[in-house]
Every structure is written in structure tokens, then in C-alpha cells.
A and B are shown apart, each in its own frame.
Chain A
Amino acid sequence: MNLVQLFLAVVMFGSLFSVLTLSLNLQYARGGMINFGTVAYFAAGAYAYAIVTQEPPSGLDQYLVGLHGPWWAGFLAAGVAAMAFAVLTGWPTLRLRGEYLALTTFAFAEMLHSLLVNERRIGNGTVGLANVERPDPGSLGLPDAWTYAGAAFVLMLATALVFRHLLASPYGRAIDAVRDDEGAAEAIGKDIARLRFEVFVISAVPIGFAGALYAMITTLVSPDLFTAEVTFFVWIALVLGGERTILGAVLGTMALVGFQELVRAIPFESVRAAEIAAAGEDIVTGVLFILILRWQPFEAMMKRRRAA
């Protein structure tokens, strides 16, 4: 793998996962909600995109619905699917607090995963849907990888801008108020349950879009791609980047993706060596994670800046 490819991969997946980190940032750092089921909204988006765009089933296919729609219809459907899933999961769980919310969102994500594995009529079960349709940038004379990296980057920018706008508004201050002191917010007439629910649902939409783009890039959706590891990955990225800032969330994700791509770029002689490298990657990620949470260098930096 040469440097250009590495750069492209980092921009492409880094931007894509940054969308997830940004949404999580909105839910956790601003809304005070611990969502441990991020992957579910991502998967909902990817599957919605695949189902809307793929051809009707044929041969060995076990899925029931393939609408063979255009890519933009799939993309929109992805946002709607993620939103619908957020409504479905948010409605019963958001009255739960802190760790209960973390556990139930985690549970919902596992339920969706289990459904995708077992219910072959959705997307061929464990086999997944291969050859997902995608717009071909080649017809416009554009190189594939660059276009999709660009698309991911644009999606990330759009998400960041929308969220920033939202949080700078009076609405954003109401959200902060609910997080900091529910009682006080309620006393001045803010509908807490409603605000939390809205933040939860709004932040799920970009995750769905990212899911659709992910399906386009990999041209494959299968339950294996959407495990709890994605959720943990995004959490680690959020912590790496220091909480509560948009730039931090993006940089943290980029750093983590870059680190992973670097490890993957090393050529290995044997399967065992690759296995050890993958394990080493997990160990280093975990240790970094613990160290950052332990000393919180980013918080300290912010404080120093504020003091100066």
C-alpha cells in the first residue's frame, strides 16, 4: 500500500466514522445520553440503502424485497430508517437514566444484529448482500476512490455544520441546560423528555446516511460488519479526541482510523503473525484509551487555554 492509498483510506473511513463520532458527541457530551448501540443506526442505514437499491431477488437469494431504486432514494431511505429506529428505541428507553440507557441501547443493537443474522428474508442472513449498487463516478470521468473519499468528507462537513448551527442556537442552550441541571431546566418550562428524545432522533439521521455511504464504499452489507465493535470504536475515537468539541471528535476518529490502516498496511508472512498484529492493535488501542481517560490531557489543555 502506498502513501496515496493510505491517505485516501484514512480520509474515506476517517470522515465516515467521524459522522458517527459527531452524532455520539451530540448525544453524550451535549445531551448527556450514553448510547451504547450506535452501530444499530449505522446498520439500519446501510441495510435500508441496500434493500432500496438492489435488484429483486433471484437464484439463491433469500431476501424478499429488492426495489432496484436509484441511489439517492436509497440514501434518503437510509436516513429515514435510522430515524425510525431511533424513534422505536428512544421512545421506551429515554426515560431511563445513565447506565440503564447505555445497557438498553446496547441491547437494542444486539437485537437488531441477531435479527439480521437470523431473519434471512431481510438480507440473506449471515451471507449478507453483496454487489450493492452504487453510482459509478467513472461515467463522469472521476476516479472511484477519490470520489467516495470526497463524498465521505462532504457528509462529515455537512454533519459538523448542521450540529454546530443547532448547538449555537437557543435550542442548543436548552439542550445544555437539560444536561447540566434537569430540575432547573424543567423549572423554566423546558420539556426535558421531549428535548432528549429530539436530540436522540436528530443525531441518528447522519449515522444512517453514513451507513448508506459505507454500503456504497464496501459494496457489501452483512451482519459481520455491524457488530458492537463499531460502537466501541466510535466511543474510543470520541474519548481520544477529547469530549465536547467537534474538531476533537473528528481528529480523534482520524487518528484512530489512521493507526488501524497503518497496522493493516504492514505485510505479514503468516496468518499467525497477522493475528498477533491484530491482537496487538486491540491492546494498544485499549491501553491508549485507558491512559487518556485516566489523565484526560485534552480537558487539561482546554482548562489551560481558558485560564490564559
Chain B
Amino acid sequence: MTLLAQYALTGVVTGCFLILATIGFSLTRQVEGFLNIAHAEMLGVSAFITWGLNAVAGWPFIPSAAVAVVATAFLGLAIGRVVYDPMRRHGPAVLLITSVGVAYVMAGMMHAIIGTGIRSLNIPLATSYRAFGLRLTDYQMIVVALAAITGVSLALFMNRTRTGLAIRAMSANPELAASRGIDVRQTSRATWLIASGLAGLAGVVLALIATLSTDIAFNQILQILAVAILAGLGSLYSVIAAGLIVGIAMDLSVYWIPAGYRPLIAFMVVILALLVRPQGLSGKARS
């Protein structure tokens, strides 16, 4: 029983990481209207900027992470403006396929600059804490805390600020938003900054809890997609619920079946959910 509870607890941590990784993806989908496959590569970029500054240049962890998040946010903005903006008239399917090309370019650059092999940050080893027979490391606690802070501050941002409300208006109905005087271009830029910044944050978390290799990003896109579909490409809250469901389901499954099947479980959940609710958790009437 304790073991099962332990897996569930680890699942919550996995879920929190997935939430961080998926919010930006889902935000891009809502405002820009397409699935950005290259989102996962942004996680990789951020993780390796953190690694480069921390392990190679010898900076302390926190400034490295901060620089990585900001750099990733602006890289995302630049890609959005240079690559995706001029192509918007071609429709979401073409943009989706284009993002595969962007992912190729980014992955290729990371391979060329960094090369293969496993890397790790120059940070102290994780310390385990025990309570009621359950273990949790300090880094895992940081992940959960970051996800919670991000969730709350993003919810506040979306509901209380002008830009946040503009983003929500754009995602609900772009034409109506534009006709009501919302600056579409500026809102789109804000979205790219926020979405890519969140990818950067998720990348830092990834660097913290996982061993780094250049193909790490691709492995994340699968899980991000799983969470995003389950959430119905919908609101912030459904992403949080879906992230936790997928995370817990994946880690709990290890109790009964070999760990190699974890990614498979993520998609089993998704396919089951789609069979019951074809529009995802958020249950919008139209896809």
C-alpha cells in the first residue's frame, strides 16, 4: 500500500512537470490556433542554456535558470514572428507541419553544438525527506511548488490584467476580439513570450530532475501531446487536471506493469478519454 502511495506521489510530481510543459503549448494552440510541435524543442533549448551556463561557464544555478527562461521566451517570440506569422493565412494544418520543420532545425542545431551523450547540472545531489513512509526529494518539491505558483499566477494574470483578458478574448473569438479594439499583433507577441517562457521554465525543471541528452525534447512532446489532447486543447484548468491525471496514471501503472510501458499508458488514457468524450475534458462543442 505504501508503495502504491509512493507511486501516486511521484505521479503528482510528474504531473506537475507535465502541467508546466503543456500550459505553453495549449496557450499557443488557443491564441495562434495551431499545434506547435517545436514547443518541446524549446524545453530542450532552455535546459541546455541552463546546463551551458551552470556546468560549463560555472554560474550558480538560479541566474543560469533565469537567463535560460528569458532567452527561451525571446527565441520563441522571434520564431513566432519570423516563421509562423507570415504563414498564418495558410491555415492550422500547414502551420502544424511547419512546426515539424522548426523542430528539425532546432534539434539539428542542438546536436551540432552540444553533441550526443548524457549531461548533468553542477548542483548538489537531491536530499530525500520522509513522512508517513513516503519519500520526496527537495528537487521534486521545487517542481510541485513551481507548478503551483505558475498555475496561480497565470490564472491571476489571465483574469485580472489587460493583456491576460486580451489573450482570453483572442482565444475565444479572434474576429470579435479584433473588432472590439484589441491589438491583435501585440496580444500575439505577448502570447509567444509567455508560452515560450513557460517552455523555458519547464526546460529548467527538466534539467533539474532528469538527465540531459539532446533527444530529451522529443520524448517530452509525446507526453505533452497526451496531456493536451486529454485537456481538449482547452483552458488552463483542464490542462492542470489532465496533467495530473496523465502523470499519476503513468507512474501508478508501474505498480502493475513494466516501466517501459509508461508512455503507452499516457496514450491509453487519452484514447479512452477520446472514445468517451471526443472533444476532450473541457468539452467544447466544436473542435
- What is the interface of chain A, defined by CB distance below 8 A to chain B? 34, 92-93, 95-100, 102-104, 106-108, 110-111, 114-115, 117-118, 228, 232, 235-236, 239, 272, 275-276, 278-283, 285-290, 293-294, 296
Contacting residues, chain A, for B34 (C-beta < 8 A): 99
Give the docked Cα–Cα distance between A196 and B34 (Å).
23
**Cβ distance A126 to chain B, nearest Cβ, rounded Å:** 10
Q: Are A279 and B261 in contact (CB under 8 A)?
A: no
Q: Are B263 and A114 in contact (CB under 8 A)?
A: yes
Q: Are A232 and B100 in contact (CB under 8 A)?
A: yes
B249 at the binding interface (Cβ < 8 Å): no
Contacting residues, chain B, for A283 (C-beta < 8 A): 104-105, 108-109, 112
Q: Are A290 and B229 in contact (CB under 8 A)?
A: no
Instruction: State the interface size on chain B (CB cutoff 8 A).
Output: 47
**Cβ distance A151 to chain B, nearest Cβ, rounded Å:** 30
- What is the interface of chain B, defined by CB distance below 8 A to chain A? 34-35, 83, 86-87, 90, 92-94, 96-98, 100-112, 115-116, 218, 222, 225-226, 228-229, 233, 258, 260-261, 263-264, 267-268, 270-271, 274-275, 278, 287
Q: Are B111 and A111 in contact (CB under 8 A)?
A: no
Give the docked Cα–Cα distance between A289 and B260 (Å).
33
**Cβ distance A97 to chain B, nearest Cβ, rounded Å:** 5
Q: Are A111 and B87 in contact (CB under 8 A)?
A: no
Give the docked Cα–Cα distance between A97 and B260 (Å).
30
A275-B115, A282-B108 given; A100·B229 CB < 8 A: yes
Contacting residues, chain B, for A108 (C-beta < 8 A): 267, 271
Return the chain A residue nearest B93 by Cβ: A34
A96-B278, A117-B260 given; A104·B108 CB < 8 A: no
A96-B287, A99-B96, A285-B104 given; A276·B112 CB < 8 A: yes
Q: Are B97 and A106 in contact (CB under 8 A)?
A: no
Q: Are A114 and B97 in contact (CB under 8 A)?
A: no
Give the docked Cα–Cα distance between A276 and B101 (Å).
18
Contacting residues, chain A, for B229 (C-beta < 8 A): 100, 103-104, 107
A280-B112, A283-B108 given; A110·B274 CB < 8 A: no
Give the docked Cα–Cα distance between A236 and B103 (Å).
12
**Cβ distance B271 to chain A, nearest Cβ, rounded Å:** 7
Cβ contacts A to B, 22 pairs, < 8 Å: A34-B93, A92-B274, A92-B275, A99-B34, A99-B35, A100-B229, A100-B274, A100-B278, A102-B35, A102-B96, A104-B229, A107-B222, A107-B225, A107-B270, A114-B260, A239-B97, A283-B104, A283-B105, A287-B101, A293-B87, A293-B97, A296-B90
Q: Are A294 and B87 in contact (CB under 8 A)?
A: yes
Residue from B96, B100, B228, B275 whose CB has the most chain A CB atoms within 10 Å: B100
